[in-house]
Amino acid sequence: MGISILIGCFILLIMIRVPIALALIVSSLATGLYLDIDVAALMQRMVGGLNAFSLIAIPFFILAGEIMNEGGISRRLINFSNLIIGKIRGGLAMVNVLTSTFFGGISGSSVADTSSVGSVMIPMMKKKGYDTDYSVSVTVSSAAQGVIIPPSHNMIIYSMAAGGVSIGSLFIGGLLPGIILGLALMITTYIIAVKRNYPKEERVPAKEVPRIVSEGLMGLLTPIIIIGGIVSGVFTATESAAIAAVYAFIITFFVYRDVPLSHVKVILFRSVKTLSMVLFLIAASSPFGWLLAYLRVPAQITEGLVSFSDNPIVILLLINIILLMLGMIMDMAPLILIATPILLPVVTSLGMDPVHFGVLLMLNLSIGLITPPVGSALFVGSAIGKLQIEKLFKSLMPFYITMIIVLLIVTFVPQMVMFLPDLIVN
């Protein structure tokens, strides 16, 4: 009965469009009252959920991303990507994917990637003769890399929910799958571009090359500082995030100088707004997760999956299907906080490393970000391209197939995730 109240109340509140954080709190309180658990104990769980040193890195990552987003880094990365692959057939679409790969490593957010890169690339592609549905599909599908390519504040949330998995290992573990996903999407865009005879880009004048390269590399130093600092042991994740925010501030306001210093107030406001939502979700999910463990939900799910099949391949396929379906109806951060304590014991019982599962979880839920009815990146791309969701969903099918193939490779080839962490971090 306790499980029915906890899960049923949460689902009911979500269906009537109550904000997820409030739904988590109300369902936890209702279950606690039924189980005669002191309400003060649940409130202490909320406060305790925020009492983690690793969470201090999140505001710095968000701030660094907002600063670089405001400072015109997307336009410079587009120019840099165009210099590398623009001359290929359908090169502008491949530029879109490569820019998202670079930008994802700076912002760590698919929605930020879609809005920043998409606001420039979608009108540019339409002007060059690319179909609108194709332009938006390339933008939103490539934006999914934003939560896999480090740094990603969602990986920090997972680290906390998983009981302190190494953030450095998660960042490094997501690097190769993110690159593979980018290459797979570029191949898909090229095949479609050849079929539709999309144009090549003109050669960049030689005198512009040094400026484009220097500006692009200065922006790309942000993720290099973060990853290099953590891997080398010079910085903790929190310290590297703070240094990256300072570096982003200097580059944006004193090197690029596209925006005045007065815009700092706008950047801080957006950063605090995003941070408030993230921390509220973390606090609200803490008593919910504790009640799940108290009611032995993870253990029962593990027993249920194992009793359904003792084949690890079947169980992992079922977990992927569950995560993909949940990603269609819920946003990423609350899903990480809810699914991790439930599914992590299942996969670890199969011998999967928590770092491997973290990257697998990120990739599953990133697909959810571009899948209706709740895909936030999908809605942003649709709004920028002025395109109906129904038409966009049909155009996205080749990209969905590509991402599912990469997901299956990541699931069943653990070396793709674990090779770099084992080599560099461990």
CA distance 181 to 173: 13
Of residues 417 and 423, the one with the higher pLDDT is 417
Report the range out of 184-193, 210-219, 337-346 with the highest average pLDDT: 184-193
pLDDT digits 0-9 by tens, 290-346: 888 788 776 777 777 777 777 889 999 999 988 888 887 777 878 888 888 888 988
- Number of other CB atoms surrounding residue 224 within 10 Å: 13
Instruction: Determine the residue type at 230.
Output: I
**pLDDT at residue 107, rounded to an integer:** 64
- Here the tokens at position 29 are 């309180």
- Here the tokens at position 375 are 């895909």
Residue 205 main-chain phi, psi, to 5 deg: -55, 140
| Secondary structure string (H, E, C) spanning 161-196 | HCCCCCHHHHHHHHHHHHHHHHHHHHHHHHHHHHHH
CB 140, CB 115: distance < 8 Å: no
| Residue-number span of the structural domain to which 404 is assigned | 2-425
Cis peptide upstream of residue 373 (ω within 30 degrees of 0): yes
pLDDT digits 0-9 by tens, 259-297: 888 888 888 998 888 888 888 888 888 888 888 878 877
pLDDT digits 0-9 by tens, 368-389: 888 876 677 787 888 888 887 7
pLDDT digits 0-9 by tens, 162-178: 888 888 889 889 989 99
Average pLDDT over residues 4-10: 88
Number of domains in the chain: 1
CA distance 316 to 16: 32
pLDDT digits 0-9 by tens, 87-119: 888 888 888 888 888 877 666 667 777 777 788
- Here the tokens at position 81 are 């990507």
Q: What is the mean pLDDT of the chain?
A: 84
Residue 413 main-chain phi, psi, to 5 deg: -125, 80
Residue 78 pLDDT > 90, yes or no?
no
Cis peptide upstream of residue 59 (ω within 30 degrees of 0): no
Kindly indicate the confidence band of residue 188, based on its pLDDT and cuts at 50, 70 and 90: very high
Q: What is each CA distance from 191 to 90, 181, 194, 271, 385, in whole angstroms?
A: 9, 16, 5, 39, 22
Q: What is each CA distance from 75 to 135, 354, 367, in whole angstroms?
A: 17, 36, 25
Residue 426 pLDDT > 70, yes or no?
no
The whole-model pTM stands at 0.81
Give burial (CB, 10 Å; 0-12/13-18/19+) of 260.
exposed
